């Protein structure tokens, strides 16, 4: 039976859109173990609660790895047969890069260069932050712009791109295998 996931999938959506749950269902559509590559860091109690809720939703098939910055190297180091990888999320990774004063364009290029060598299918989750008003401060505008560039670059490299709104997936770029509605 062919793998239900293409090599690279990008799942976009707004806050609380259902994008993470959809991405988890895509990874779980494959037999075998699932790897959750978390980019979030629990900097406060509210974020710790969000992380705990995400962990509680996943079952025992999931192995969690935490990597806030070295996404390309961590993906490249995944051995074959370990299972599909869910990266949640690219926008938190971008926040981490910006806080560490690293160049988002260079890090995005490193990520894209690593993708062909990743042994398992990868599903990326990212927030679509450019649909609202223009932010009032320069840092927020820079983040919005960098997130837009990151999403465009990953979407161009992805085999499948899905936008999720109100829990409903809309396939923007079809790829190999079926898209699931969870």
Which residues does residue 84 pair with via DSSP β-bridges, in sequence order? 34
End-to-end CA distance of the chain: 20
Answer yes or no: 22 catalytic.
no
User: What whole-number distance in Å separates Cα of residue 131 and Cα of residue 137?
Assistant: 17
- Identify the DSSP state of 181: -
DSSP state of 116: G
**Per-residue burial over 23-46, b = 16 or more CB atoms within 10 Å of its CB, e = otherwise:** bbbbbbbbeeebbbbbbbbeeeee
Contacts of 151 (CB under 8 A, 6+ apart): 10, 12, 90, 126, 128
Torsion angle of the four alpha carbons 55, 97, 13, 61, in this order, in degrees rounded to the nearest 10? -30
Whether omega for the bond prior to residue 89 falls within 30 degrees of 0, making it cis, is yes
Catalytic choice (22, 54, 78, 160): 54
Q: Which residues are catalytic?
A: 54
């Amino acid at each position: 039976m062919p793998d239900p996931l293409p090599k690279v999938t990008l799942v976009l959506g707004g806050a609380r859109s259902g994008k993470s749950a959809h991405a988890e269902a895509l990874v779980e559509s494959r037999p075998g173990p699932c790897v959750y590559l978390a980019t979030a860091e629990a900097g406060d109690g509210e974020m710790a609660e969000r992380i705990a809720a995400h962990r509680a939703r996943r079952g025992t098939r999931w192995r969690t790895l935490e990597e806030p910055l070295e996404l390309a190297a961590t993906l490249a180091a995944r051995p074959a047969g370990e299972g599909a990888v869910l990266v949640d999320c690219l926008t938190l990774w971008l926040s981490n890069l910006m806080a560490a004063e690293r160049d988002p364009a260079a890090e995005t290029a490193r990520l894209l260069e690593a993708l062909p060598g990743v042994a398992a299918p990868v599903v990326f989750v990212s927030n679509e932050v450019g649909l609202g008003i223009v932010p009032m401060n320069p840092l927020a505008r820079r983040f919005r712009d960098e997130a837009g560039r990151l999403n465009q670059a990953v979407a161009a490299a992805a085999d499948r791109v899905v936008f999720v709104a109100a829990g409903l997936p809309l396939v923007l770029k079809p790829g190999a295998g079926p898209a699931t509605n969870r």
